[in-house]
Chain A
């Protein structure tokens, strides 16, 4: 049957996370640091709003762009939190998570063969999403020694004629990397100079631990060339609600809406209702979860470094991305060895692109006590590291 599969789909390699997941899910007593979602359940008041909406019979389609009340709330939230104003009437679209928003943006922007710059390591969907939109992905490396920030020199070096889009995710999954204002401004200038559209996935922007988050959309000339993507999954612990949004110039949002209306129609109304509640009264919950992540981050960074796995404190998100080179093991061997001998799951860095080789992603979206136990086990593993080979990658 394979011959029926479209070439560009067939050409996408299997997710590195997928085969690891298969193994971990069959094991018992595993402490998983491989989970890319909050361990907190959605705050009760948000869940209750969804239940109430269901009771009230809110079970119908909404406008393609999403409920106007939600778009108004989003517009106010983004203006207050990020300093960029978007018109809720035509510059905001509600999507099924940021994942859909990325897909919409790429499909709305790319002609076959258009090139997309994106930093790597990066979220697993970036390269495949570009491929599925018939674009060509061009990775820009980020490095451990400057906290996996994105540097304009690397973007310049990777740039080539035909580049149309720069896609970035700061704070970053998997590295936790962030970008200070000065670096971001240089990237913004480069984007203006090369006439690039920036797709800025800021899903982790509430979870920033050192200093304040800056959106690239605030710099001169940027609002009109930025598609700002955000959602509720991480900060409000609403992953299963599948709700996100995109803000950008009306013409681009309109183009995204065309794809959305024929593929998705609208985001689920119950999730939209829950999102309204999250924006209205969710701040305290976000703050409390952020404080807990912050504490866990500090624990992980100090314990991993003490165990001999070098890592800098991630500026945001809920991942540490330590190098495992001191153990003499590659990232896959390290991850499989740790899993088999100590029952701790971390994700091999190569799942996030070539530049992730030699690193592993450990999520601290897990209870503090569990993290302490996981760190004890990691330390034991590093001290006794009897290299245990990973099955060869398929």
Chain B
């Protein structure tokens, strides 16, 4: 795997200079590769991994299973791309199995998410049905355990 991409996945907020040292290449090379990854649409952007339940104004999140009618020529793509443009939609995936699209949405309140589903999503032509599941609690977010104790495990401070 591209070493810069690997470092991106592992996270850790490295600067280009740090990445260069870690990957054993020059800083200019790191920048070049980052630019290429952006151009190839492999590297889409930065997002912090947050546990928003600790925020008082916690957002409501839901997963929605959507069944829809595919179109001749385009399958599910046109509708999926259209759905994805809504700001409420965090992620959108075409799935195998009992439904077609799996959509992760968020909103400031339950009412707002419900309104998005009933007024925007289910009224779209081609959407046959939706099934909305509100998330109650998160245990792991973007590979981070939510309630795992922070810091170093209890190692002896000096050992042979």
Contact B155 A37 (CB under 8 A): yes
Q: How far is the CA of A10 from the CA of B105 in the complex (A)?
A: 70
Residue A298 lies at the interface, judged by CB distance under 8 Å to chain B: yes
Neighbouring B residues of A367 by C-beta, 8 Å = 152
Residue B138 lies at the interface, judged by CB distance under 8 Å to chain A: no
Shortest beta-carbon distance from B19 to chain A in Å: 10
Given contacts A295-B22, A302-B21, contact A124 B157 (CB under 8 A): no
Given contacts A41-B153, A368-B12, contact A347 B158 (CB under 8 A): yes
Contact B160 A123 (CB under 8 A): yes
Neighbouring A residues of B157 by C-beta, 8 Å = 21, 24-25, 30, 32, 34-35, 345
Residue B159 lies at the interface, judged by CB distance under 8 Å to chain A: yes
Contact B21 A298 (CB under 8 A): yes
Residue B156 lies at the interface, judged by CB distance under 8 Å to chain A: yes
Q: How far is the CA of A30 from the CA of B156 in the complex (A)?
A: 12
Please encode chain A, from 290 to 314, with 1 for each CB lying within 8 Å of some chain B CB and 0 for all others: 0000010011001000000000000
Neighbouring A residues of B24 by C-beta, 8 Å = 298
Q: How far is the CA of A124 from the CA of B159 in the complex (A)?
A: 10
Shortest beta-carbon distance from A31 to chain B in Å: 10
Number of A-B pairs, beta carbon distance below 8 Å:
52
Shortest beta-carbon distance from B18 to chain A in Å: 8
Residue A265 lies at the interface, judged by CB distance under 8 Å to chain B: no
Point out the residue from A41, A298, A299, A345 that lies within 8 Å of B158, measured CB to CB: A345
Neighbouring A residues of B21 by C-beta, 8 Å = 298-299, 302
Residue A383 lies at the interface, judged by CB distance under 8 Å to chain B: no
Q: How far is the CA of A123 from the CA of B160 in the complex (A)?
A: 7
Neighbouring B residues of A41 by C-beta, 8 Å = 153
Neighbouring A residues of B152 by C-beta, 8 Å = 39, 367
Contact B153 A35 (CB under 8 A): no
Contact A17 B155 (CB under 8 A): no
Please encode chain B, from 69 to 109, with 1 for each CB lying within 8 Å of some chain A CB and 0 for all others: 00000000000000000000000000000000000000000
Contact B158 A34 (CB under 8 A): yes
Q: How far is the CA of A125 from the CA of B160 in the complex (A)?
A: 9
Please encode chain A, from 71 to 111, with 1 for each CB lying within 8 Å of some chain B CB and 0 for all others: 00000000000000000000000000000000000000000
Which B residues are closer than 8 A to A by beta carbons? 12, 21-22, 24, 152-153, 155-160
A-B contact pairs, 29 of them (CB 8 A): A17-B158, A17-B159, A17-B160, A20-B158, A21-B156, A21-B157, A24-B158, A25-B156, A25-B158, A30-B157, A34-B158, A35-B155, A35-B157, A35-B158, A35-B159, A36-B159, A36-B160, A37-B155, A39-B153, A41-B153, A123-B160, A124-B160, A298-B22, A298-B24, A299-B22, A302-B21, A345-B157, A347-B158, A368-B22
User: Which 3 A-B residue pairings sit nearest by Cβ, starting from the closest?
Assistant: A34-B158, A21-B158, A124-B160
11 more A-B contacts (CB under 8 A) besides A17-B158, A35-B159, A299-B22? A24-B158, A25-B156, A25-B157, A34-B158, A34-B159, A36-B159, A298-B22, A299-B21, A368-B12, A368-B22, A369-B12
